[in-house]
Structure 1
Amino acid sequence: MSVGRAHSALIRRLFEIGAIRFGEFTLKSGITSPFYIDLRVVISFPDVLEQIGVLMAAVVARCGGDRVGGIPYAGLPLAVAASLAGRMPLIYPRREEKGYGTRRRIEGQFKAGERVVLIDDIITDGASKLEAIQPLEEAGLVVKDLVVLVDREQGGRELLAARGYTVHPVLTISQCFDEGERAGLAPAELIRQSREFLKASRFA
């Protein structure tokens, strides 16, 4: 599937800044991958972060909702960028409850019944998304949609769909590979190996 000019420009920048790398990497799920998407580096490149914010905000707008929610830690700066680009209020669930002060599980202002569009950097198996959704729903917020920058296309999107959540990726890893190969940003053999890995390691 082809991508638009803005998406193509973003993919090229992701390769240039080392956000998409090839090698041998152990993922959070425990599997070894021949490529790694390190979107934490984008905070050091304001132009890239701004690009991401604009593209994510456009997807969030199509989802509707009252607030965006950033998933710590990698998804939070992307959510801030999208919040600023789309002028939408931001909240985020803490990974752990504060043991002092307000003892909040969720930072930011909200009302029960409001609809939150969650934002994260990437989706692999979807487990971390469910962890982030739980405290929001327990607080009375409604979560139906999640926006991720990159879908690794390993089944996480489908697994969340089975639980009633819709994942909207700005980019898929296939689109990144296609653009990287077309622009000569990565060796064709490494991309081929990575594509084969994806076919053999889906969770759903």
Structure 2
Amino acid sequence: MSDLRQEFIAFSVEAEVLRFGEFTTKAGRLSPYFFNAGLFHDGATLGQLAQFYAQTLLDSGVEFDMLFGPAYKGITLASATSVALAGKGRNTSFAYNRKEAKDHGEGGTIVGAKLAGKVVIVDDVISAGTSVRESVDMIRAAGAEPVAVLIALDRMERSGKDGALSAHSAVQQVAQEFGIPVISIANLDDLFGYLSGATADPRLSQHKEAVAAYRSRYGV
């Protein structure tokens, strides 16, 4: 596990954005952990989160011209990442969409810079891939090219229901469907490595077995 990934997991736990216990996912599964990027809701934590996004994107080597944030969480994430990139010497424009078209003023559903060139979609996680598909459609309709999806945490979790689980995760399906990479700051393997590591809080290491069982059942 890279230092950046380890730092991100530790940061998420400390900010209580990554929590352990029993949580019901959108798929109706009982998960031993839950990641909610919406809880990065103050200036300090959002600024630090944006640094992780920006550095991960730069380290990926993906060529890009601008960022796109799907409503709603992606709006904050894309704009904050753009600020962080500028601080690293890479001034990058960004845009985002409205859920409903505006019929006055500038109108339309896209706010911010004009969609053009190579575009990176910035979001928190990929569950069903719906927001990514909608984003890809909007970007291509504008004549621009989606080149990657940048997320915080890849759950590395197979889609579908018990007895009919997909061979691939939602992240893998998105990558295959659109032929673009999905870049994550960290993933489930990094999370498990953190719980297994010597630096893990003893209060957290007690969740290791539950996470391992969940990964064995649903992981790719």
Q: What's the TM-score once normalised by structure 2's chain length?
A: 0.80
1:95 maps to 99
2:17 maps to 19
* Larger CA deviation: 84-93 vs 50-59: 50-59
CA contact (8 A) 2:5 2:190 kept: no
Q: Across the two proteins, how many residue pairs are aligned to each other? A: 199
1:51 and 1:194 mapped to 2: Cα distance?
A: 26
1:53 maps to 50
Q: Aligned-pair distance for 1:131?
A: 2.4
2:43 and 2:16 mapped to 1: Cα distance?
A: 11
Map 1:64-143 to 2 at 5 A: 64-86=63-85, 87-112=91-116, 114-143=117-146
Distance 1:133 1:88, change over 3 A: same
Q: Aligned-pair distance for 1:95?
A: 2.6
Q: Which amino acid aligns with 1:98?
A: K
Normalized per residue, the structure richer in strand is 2
List alignment gaps of at least 5 residues for structure 2.
Answer: 86-90, 158-168
Q: Aligned-pair distance for 1:23?
A: 2.5
List alignment gaps of at least 5 residues for structure 1.
Answer: none
Is 1:184 equivalent to 2:181 in the alignment?
A: no
CA RMSD, 1 decimal: 2.2
1:162 maps to 176
User: % of aligned pairs identical?
Assistant: 24
Q: Which amino acid aligns with 1:58?
A: Q
Q: Which amino acid aligns with 1:134?
A: D
1:191 and 1:106 mapped to 2: Cα distance?
A: 43
1:103 and 1:173 mapped to 2: Cα distance?
A: 41
2:100 and 2:22 mapped to 1: Cα distance?
A: 31
Q: What's the TM-score once normalised by structure 1's chain length?
A: 0.85
